[in-house]
Each structure stands twice: as structure tokens, then as C-alpha cells.
């Protein structure tokens, strides 16, 4: 019996700060519009989406402040590392996101970037910001779970 383990995903980068700084409400997969030198640089795996976020501009969703470093072999036709990058979503999804951003005061945060069947994709989350006491509680819970696991490993 053939068991397919790899589902075609190759993770490029993760945004670990997103789950610490935000309550992630809904996850959506979106494509990215990239230039040739950008996609070659992404394939090298040096992407940073830790401080990036999504905004609405002219009825489209753009990813701001994501860093894709310049591709050395591209010479004169290189790209801007901090350029705005358009996200590819259905019109229905765009309208839903715009409504949540404007009405409910939520934000769009990328959680991970990956290749799916050779295409660069971004998993974005509709998120609500955490207060400092929420972050402290998250850290306490995480530490407590680690201590519990350590204790049960020693006792068994």
C-alpha cells in the first residue's frame, strides 16, 4: 500500500511571534505576486515575515514589511527587499477580510510561507492583538506544560 507522506509543502519560513503577539482567529491560504529575482531569492530560503502585516489598498490585500533579500545573480534587474507584495485571493475572500479589518478592528498577519506544488504561498491569519497580561498567561501555560511533561518523563 502506497502511503504518501509529503503533501507537496516545503516550508520556507515561519512567523513564531504571530501566535505569541496575537489571537489567531482564522487561517487563509493566499498566493503571492513575485518577480523573477524575488522567487529565486525565496527558493534560497532567506525570507523574513516576522514583522510583516497585511493592509487593504484599492480593493486588494497587500503584504507590507516582508523582507525578501536581493538575489546576487540578478544584477541590474533586482528587486526592492521591502516592497509591497500583492496577495492573490478570491474577491469573496478579499471582501470578507476587508469587512473584518474595518468593522471589528482585526489585523492580517502572515504565519508561514511555503511552496505548494511549486507555487509560493502565504498562510495569513485574521488576528486580534494580545495585551501584556495575555502574553504573560500564555508564557505561564507553556512553562507549566513543559514542567508537567518533564515530571511525567522522570516518574515513568
pLDDT of 2 reads 56
Dihedral sign for Cα 36, 39, 43, 48, please: positive
Give the 3-state secondary structure of residue 30.
strand
What domains lie within the chain, and their CATH numbers? 9-130 (2.40.280.10)
pLDDT of 9 reads 83
Would you write out the chain's pLDDT as a tens digit for each of its 156 residues? 455 555 778 899 999 999 889 999 999 999 999 988 888 889 888 899 999 999 999 999 999 999 999 888 877 878 888 889 999 999 999 999 999 988 887 999 999 999 999 899 999 999 998 889 888 998 999 999 999 999 988 887
pTM for the full predicted model = 0.82
How many angstroms separate the Cα of 27 from the Cα of each of 13, 19, 97? 16, 12, 11
Amino acid at each position: 500500500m502506497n502511503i504518501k507522506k509529503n503533501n507537496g509543502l516545503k516550508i520556507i519560513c515561519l512567523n513564531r511571534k504571530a501566535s505569541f503577539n496575537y489571537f489567531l482567529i482564522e487561517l487563509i491560504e493566499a498566493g503571492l505576486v513575485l518577480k523573477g529575482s524575488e522567487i529565486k531569492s525565496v527558493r534560497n530560503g532567506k525570507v523574513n515575515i516576522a514583522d510583516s502585516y497585511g493592509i487593504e489598498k484599492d480593493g486588494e490585500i497587500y503584504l507590507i514589511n516582508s523582507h525578501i533579500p536581493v538575489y546576487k545573480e540578478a544584477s541590474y534587474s533586482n528587486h526592492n527587499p521591502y516592497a509591497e507584495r500583492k496577495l492573490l485571493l478570491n474577491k469573496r475572500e478579499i471582501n470578507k477580510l476587508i469587512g473584518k479589518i474595518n468593522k471589528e478592528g482585526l489585523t492580517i498577519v502572515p504565519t508561514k510561507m511555503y511552496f505548494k506544488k511549486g507555487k509560493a504561498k502565504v498562510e495569513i491569519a485574521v488576528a486580534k492583538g494580545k495585551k501584556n497580561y495575555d502574553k504573560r498567561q500564555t508564557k505561564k501555560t507553556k512553562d507549566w506544560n513543559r514542567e508537567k511533561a518533564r515530571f511525567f518523563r522522570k516518574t515513568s
